[in-house]
Amino acid sequence: MSELTPQTDRAQWKSRFGFILAAAGSAVGLGNIWKFPYITGQNGGGLFVLIYLACIVLIGLPIMMAEIMIGRAGQRQPVGAFESIHGRKTAWSGIGWMGVVAGFIILSFYIVVAGWSMDYTLKSIVNFTKPIESKAATEAEVYIATTSISDMKLFLVNKETDRQLHPRKTLLESRLTKSQKENYERFRTAIEKAEDQDQARLRLLKDEELKSSVEAVEKVEQQVAKARLEIAGSVQTKINSLSATDLLAQVKLSKRRDLVFEKMTGTFVNLLTNGWHSLMWAALFMMVAIGVVAGGVAAGIERACRFLMPTLIALIGMMVLYGAFQPGFGAAVSFVFSPDPSRLKASGVLEALGHAFFTLSLGMGAMMTYGSYQSSKTGLLQESVMITLLDTAIALLACLMIFPITFSYGQEPTAGPGLVFMSMPLAFAEIGRTGMLLSMAFFGLLFFAALTSAISLLEVVASYLIDQKNWSRAKAAVTTGLLTLVVAVPTAFSSDSTSVLSNWEGDYGLNFFDTMDHLASNWMLPLGGLFIAIYAGWVMPRRLQEAEVEDMPAWIFQVWLVLVRVVAPALVIIVLMQKVGIFDIDEWL
């Protein structure tokens, strides 16, 4: 390791603060604003958030410290860092290679979503929700003019019943295991094909396992139906007692929202299914990212982050402030912060762990690369804590920005990946005049967040060519950027029916986009994180390790060592085993 010659010409951050902003910029991204709120919604809020925080502290933070430590000690990006530490070729460089590949893969779908955020920013500037809103208002009036009162009442009763039933239904259904549901699905498909359904049922139910699944699901279905009847009864009484004016007003509001939602969904689906459109934006986004990376570490990345990160925080602050004055704010706060064990499944815990990696940019050497542009040997703990805190704070603020708005405008928190591109525009349309400004702020901040993350992904790949192959920065950035764009083509076209890959989903169950996300986020990052933890805890030369933690209180170092040696690897292995399907944690508990 004595060959570790300080490279005087190697790029450096201008200041520690600049490094923290750039690293936080990498961490804060689509993961925080697009993904975290919707997985929180899907996992019932409260308790999921607590478990996520525990994962961040117990696994995310220690691995973050490990990555920055290795980067600072090796003064190279991940392919070169291990070699430079040991002064010879070592198999640990495999972590770096996997990181380079993961970088390509993540970036290839990341830029597609980032491109959508650009599309929606532009749409907001031309106030795209306004024509949608006024068309919907017209159609709602037509509905009122042409529908009988009793049909309108029926419409309202069904709508309100569904809304009230939703939480109870989710709760009841959460008692079923995945295999029970799968068994039941197969059973239904088979029955529907049969001519004599009663006979088919008898035949299939000879299988004991199938029989118990079917009975369990049917029992839940009966309970749901019973709950539905109860709710419908009281809803009906309430609606019958409404005055004609109130009834018409409610029908109009609810119809208009349905229509706006339909049209918003249509707008998003148009974008999603138009490969060329998505690709065009992805290419434009890539150009911006290439420009920043080509600008250099201090003059490009650090300078961009110094402007983008404070702007991003100011925009989020503004949106949260707006949300605080909305009627749904209380509901949003209690949704995000009050734990309700009945709404979380064990697999939600694993999702929290997986997301901790993605959101902190861990497992593929991004933090290692950024750390390698730092020659300081102090402040490892403070830096890692700052980056982690910023990332976590922004993820929580993103929830407090999105949920008050969606709750106030009658949307479900569980809306899924479309939360940002469908539910939010719907709310913006309802807000009216200010809606346009909010919409611009919201999609603009999504774009900024994506940009500071994308440049870190591009930097990992580009720095390999710069460090190991002596390429010029500009050439490395342009080449890797364009190559990524090629990889992004099938992703951009993954939901386009004209694409060559349109059979992909039918064959594998996930479309190409989701396949890439799945491959990188569920496999490569946890695996990379596992090896990084093991390396930092067990393999890294003690002397180098101690040089990095000299200013750290001894007990913190000891705690870190235990986390990185035992706790983090053990938890990651459990997650990976679940993913391979060795066991299904929901069936166990």
Q: Is 406 in the site for ligand TRP (CB under 6 A)?
A: no
Question: Which of 435, 477, 383 is CA-nearest to residue 129?
Answer: 435
- Interface segment toward ligand TRP; rule CB under 6 A; list 61-69, 204-212, 421-429, 452-460: 452-460
Q: Is 575 in the site for ligand TRP (CB under 6 A)?
A: no
Q: If you ran DSSP here, which 8-state letter would residue 581 be given?
A: T
C-beta of 533: minimal distance to ligand TRP in Å? 15
Q: Is 295 in the site for ligand TRP (CB under 6 A)?
A: no
Q: Is 30 in the site for ligand TRP (CB under 6 A)?
A: yes
Per the rule left: phi > 0, alpha: psi between -120 and 50, beta: everything else, 363 is left
Closer to ligand TRP by Cβ: residue 48 or 128: 48
| Distance separating alpha carbons of residues 424 and 420, to the nearest angstrom | 5
Locate all alpha helices (DSSP H) within 273-364, ordered by sequence: 275-294, 303-324, 329-337, 346-359
Which one among 366, 398, 466, 532 touches ligand TRP, defined by CB under 6 A? 366
Contact 364, 524 (CB under 8 A): yes
Locate all alpha helices (DSSP H) within 470-567, ordered by sequence: 473-492, 504-508, 512-517, 525-534, 542-548, 554-562
Closer to ligand TRP by Cβ: residue 13 or 329: 13
Closer to ligand TRP by Cβ: residue 24 or 571: 24
Question: Which of 292, 276, 274, 281 is CA-nearest to residue 114?
Answer: 281
Site mask, ligand TRP, residues 250-289, x = CB under 6 A? ----------------------------------------
User: Which residues from 60-119 bind ligand TRP, rule CB under 6 A?
Assistant: 106
C-beta of 448: minimal distance to ligand TRP in Å? 12
Distances (CA, A) of 305 to 19, 200, 264, 297, 521: 9, 64, 32, 11, 24
| Distance separating alpha carbons of residues 45 and 332, to the nearest angstrom | 9
Which tokens in the block code for residue 159? 């709508």
C-beta of 143: minimal distance to ligand TRP in Å? 41
Contact 309, 29 (CB under 8 A): no
- Interface segment toward ligand TRP; rule CB under 6 A; list 185-193, 276-284, 361-369, 372-380: 361-369
Closer to ligand TRP by Cβ: residue 55 or 136: 55
Which tokens in the block code for residue 227? 């709950």
| Distance separating alpha carbons of residues 338 and 361, to the nearest angstrom | 27
| Distance separating alpha carbons of residues 239 and 38, to the nearest angstrom | 32
Number of residues forming the site for ligand TRP (CB under 6 A): 16
User: Which residues from 504-533 bind ligand TRP, rule CB under 6 A?
Assistant: 525
Closer to ligand TRP by Cβ: residue 302 or 496: 302
Give the total residue count for the chain: 589
C-beta of 32: minimal distance to ligand TRP in Å? 5
Contact 394, 21 (CB under 8 A): no
Contact 111, 484 (CB under 8 A): yes
C-beta of 453: minimal distance to ligand TRP in Å? 4
Contact 155, 232 (CB under 8 A): no
How many beta carbons lie within 10 A of that of residue 361, not counting itself?
30
Q: Is 358 in the site for ligand TRP (CB under 6 A)?
A: yes
Q: Is 420 in the site for ligand TRP (CB under 6 A)?
A: no
Site mask, ligand TRP, residues 422-451, x = CB under 6 A? ------------------------------
Which one among 121, 254, 456, 495 touches ligand TRP, defined by CB under 6 A? 456
Q: If you ran DSSP here, which 8-state letter would residue 328 be given?
A: T
Closer to ligand TRP by Cβ: residue 33 or 264: 33
Q: What value, to the nearest 5°, has the Cα angle with vertex 212 and ends 211 and 217?
A: 100
Locate all alpha helices (DSSP H) within 87-177, ordered by sequence: 93-125, 129-146, 149-173
Contact 171, 343 (CB under 8 A): yes
**Distance between the two ends of the chain, CA-based, in angstroms?**
49
Q: Is 453 in the site for ligand TRP (CB under 6 A)?
A: yes
C-beta of 78: minimal distance to ligand TRP in Å? 11
The three-state secondary structure class of 261 is helix
Closer to ligand TRP by Cβ: residue 37 or 328: 37
Closer to ligand TRP by Cβ: residue 101 or 190: 101
- Interface segment toward ligand TRP; rule CB under 6 A; list 24-32, 201-209, 382-390, 477-485: 24-32
- Interface segment toward ligand TRP; rule CB under 6 A; list 28-36, 60-68, 147-155, 267-275: 28-36
Contact 442, 117 (CB under 8 A): no
Q: Is 361 in the site for ligand TRP (CB under 6 A)?
A: yes
Q: Is 419 in the site for ligand TRP (CB under 6 A)?
A: no
User: Which residues from 184-223 bind ligand TRP, rule CB under 6 A?
Assistant: none
Which tokens in the block code for residue 237? 């009484």
- Interface segment toward ligand TRP; rule CB under 6 A; list 126-134, 358-366, 397-405, 566-574: 358-366
Which one among 79, 304, 356, 364 touches ligand TRP, defined by CB under 6 A? 364
C-beta of 316: minimal distance to ligand TRP in Å? 14
Q: Is 26 in the site for ligand TRP (CB under 6 A)?
A: yes
Contact 154, 239 (CB under 8 A): no
Q: By CB under 6 A, name the binding residues for ligand TRP.
A: 26-27, 29-32, 106, 358-359, 361, 364, 366, 453, 456-457, 525
